[in-house]
Amino acid sequence: MKAFKITSFVLFLVLLLSTVCALPLSANDTETGIAFTAEDKYRTQEPLSVLPATFEATLMLPTNTEGRGGVILGCFFSSKVSCVNFEVHENGVPRLYIIDEDLTVYDVRFKTVNVCTGEFLHLAIVKDSAAGTVACYVNGKLAETQEFATPANVALAKPIALGGDVRKDNGQFFKGTLKSMTIYEDARSAKEIAADSQGTLDTNGLIGHYALSNGKDTFTDAGGKGPDFLYSGAFLQNYQGVTDYAYSFALVGDTQILTKYHGNKLTAMYDWIVGNVQEKKIKFVFGLGDITDTNTNGEWKRAEREILKMEGVVPYSIIRGNHDRPENMFNKFFSYEKFGKNVLGSYDGTMCNTYQELIVGSIKYLVVNLDYGPSDDVLAWANEVVEKYPEHNVIVTTHIYLTLDGTTLDAEDSGNALTCGGFNTGDQMWDKFISKHENIVLVLCGHKPTDYITVARTKGVHGNEVVQIMVDPQGTDKNMDGVGLVAMMYFSKDGRSVDVEYYSTDRQAYFHRENQFHLELNVIGNGTAEEPTTQEPTTTEPATTEVPATEPPATQPETEPPAPEKGCNASVCLAGFAVITSCAVLVLKKKKD
């Protein structure tokens, strides 16, 4: 009898353990939840490989939430790339927003639902392509169903963000508290959603489940398969800068806000550049236009004083932006008579359109500096200049060229050169000049305010890849009271391998994880020839600057910074997004979110 009882007990334990092991993983969230700001960005390193069919979140939004509740999970960047956003729109309305590869927009809003309750609830949106429906569940109960046209192929183009999306300003960050977020690649049934809302986690079809709380740098999938969401706040405290490189270039984007409102921070930025020429092996400093904000005498005096600090210390370029018009003030303070010794030639005897030669080691660079929206005659001149230097790696600087999504500005884009007094758009500059030359390797521009360095790679007519980079910190300087951002490009000796960093000279910290990255350039020359000695430009000979790849000039001028100035509001033209406001399911072509 005793043996029978022991055997029965063992069998009971075996059955119990087998039953427990068959249960779904626990998704009861022990975390407290996380509240977001525009600067709190959690993103995957790569895009999701599959478009989720089920989106779930445990969330709380206050009853008095104004405007949109914000994005829970999303990778919207612009209307020109495929994406998905799981979010709460105005009046607490859950929303699923998709752009497919044909740039068709699918916008689903559940207007009978309001999740701004001031209490935690479980929200789920299920996209069932087979049934042609999309359903919304609140706390495990079906709240609304709509018909849904199945999108074409959706290969997500951008890494996906948690508590926001990947548009530049992250203005639609989640305005409440998120406790968990879960995504499945299959359409969950009503029964499964009900179970999910009660705190169970089924690993079948699971992409990832994330329990959330403040104070973490990384959120990992409880199932162990999904991607990590890495924190990408504004200023990185533990980031270690690049140390292994042969030489560097410094890029100075639109300084207009610093020049007008934060003269002391403009001073600090140029002091940092000049003070780091030797340590950071800076061989050239590129100015990208909009030197001033309102083209006043005082702003030009300040800008001239700071830029002149580089004279005799490091080669540099200057171009005019649309805020620097008309050009009489630019020509007054940066006259060809005074600054022409630094260039090889000019289109019209001014500094508006010039070219310079720079030799680093055995690598020959030709820097072609173009006015914003250059005319056809200027582009014809630029074509002739580049054709004379087939063995040089050409770097083109201009002010108005790229949009925020990395495409060239056309006549339909806001802030294009034609609307700012120029003659050719970014599209036209590419067609008439940049795409034609096999040795143009890099284009640098400013103009469109953004917290992020924008990079595009496009093949020219010869099959060569042209890397195009936009740097414009004017909006950042406005929103953060001036941070003095400098984009640094650190090169390998052969000039092909480049590490890019975005550094705030005011905060003394690197700005956003996404702005620290690597790229490759298709340069001519291998950097192995004997390094020449430094040759200073003279006033009587054309300016060719030769610098060794590892020994920059050490002399620095002594400067006395002006007294600090207080900032105030500035007028900054931001790229706009058209808002889709109609209800039900919309299928729109090339509309902006």
Work out the percent of the chain whose per-residue pLDDT is above 70.
83
Residue 477 has pLDDT above 90, yes or no: yes
- pLDDT interval class at 593 (50, 70, 90): very low
- Tens digit of each residue's pLDDT (9 = 90 or more) over 219-240: 999 988 899 998 766 788 678 8
| 25-233+577-589 CATH pick, 2.60.120.200, 3.30.70.260, 3.40.50.300, 3.20.10.10 | 2.60.120.200
Q: Nearest-CA neighbor of 525 among 364, 379, 387, 343?
A: 364
Confirm if 339 and 303 have CB atoms less than 8 A apart.
no
- Please count the other Cβ atoms lying within 10 Å of the Cβ belonging to residue 317: 23
Exposure string for 289-315, b = 16+ CB within 10 A, e = fewer = bbbbbebeeebbebbbbbbbbbeebbb
* Least confident residue range of 289-298, 384-393, 509-518, 547-556: 547-556
Instruction: Identify the pLDDT of residue 167.
Output: 85
- pLDDT interval class at 487 (50, 70, 90): very high
- Please count the other Cβ atoms lying within 10 Å of the Cβ belonging to residue 24: 15
Q: Nearest-CA neighbor of 370 among 400, 390, 341, 349?
A: 400
Q: Which pair of structure tokens corresponds to residue 402?
A: 């790229």
Confirm if 112 and 144 have CB atoms less than 8 A apart.
yes
Residue type, 86: F
Instruction: Identify the pLDDT of residue 541.
Output: 41
Q: Dmax of the chain from CA atoms? A: 114
**Number of C-alpha atoms within 13 angstroms, CB side, residue 567?**
21
Locus of tokens 């014809």 = 380
Q: Nearest-CA neighbor of 136 among 122, 154, 150, 149?
A: 122
Residues 6+ apart with CB under 8 A from 178: 33, 34, 36, 57, 58, 59, 72, 162, 163, 212
Rounded CA separation 282/292 (Å): 24
- Please count the other Cβ atoms lying within 10 Å of the Cβ belonging to residue 482: 26
- pLDDT interval class at 430 (50, 70, 90): very high
Write down the domain spans for the chain: 25-233+577-589, 248-547
Rounded CA separation 51/131 (Å): 17
250 SS3 class: strand
Instruction: Identify the pLDDT of residue 231.
Output: 79
Of 270 and 534, the one with more pLDDT: 270
- pLDDT interval class at 545 (50, 70, 90): low
- pLDDT interval class at 63 (50, 70, 90): very high
Question: Across 388-496, where does the E strand assignment appear?
Answer: 393-397, 440-445, 454-459, 465-470, 485-491
Work out the percent of the chain whose per-residue pLDDT is above 90.
72
Instruction: Identify the pLDDT of residue 170.
Output: 84
Residue type, 139: N
Of 141 and 326, the one with more pLDDT: 141
- pLDDT interval class at 256 (50, 70, 90): very high
Confirm if 270 and 307 have CB atoms less than 8 A apart.
yes
- pLDDT interval class at 569 (50, 70, 90): very low
Confirm if 77 and 166 have CB atoms less than 8 A apart.
yes
Instruction: Identify the pLDDT of residue 557.
Output: 34
Rounded CA separation 174/38 (Å): 9
- pLDDT interval class at 590 (50, 70, 90): very low
- Tens digit of each residue's pLDDT (9 = 90 or more) over 202-221: 999 999 999 998 877 789 99
Rounded CA separation 108/88 (Å): 11
Confirm if 452 and 515 have CB atoms less than 8 A apart.
yes
- Tens digit of each residue's pLDDT (9 = 90 or more) over 159-168: 999 999 998 7
Task: Please state, rounded to an integer, the average pLDDT across all residues of the chain.
Answer: 85
Confirm if 196 and 202 have CB atoms less than 8 A apart.
yes
| 248-547 CATH pick, 3.60.21.10, 3.40.50.300, 3.60.15.10, 3.40.50.2300 | 3.60.21.10
Rounded CA separation 382/336 (Å): 18
Confirm if 154 and 22 have CB atoms less than 8 A apart.
no
Locus of tokens 């620290």 = 516
Residue 549 has pLDDT above 90, yes or no: no
- Tens digit of each residue's pLDDT (9 = 90 or more) over 550-561: 543 333 333 333
543 SS3 class: coil
Rounded CA separation 351/341 (Å): 11
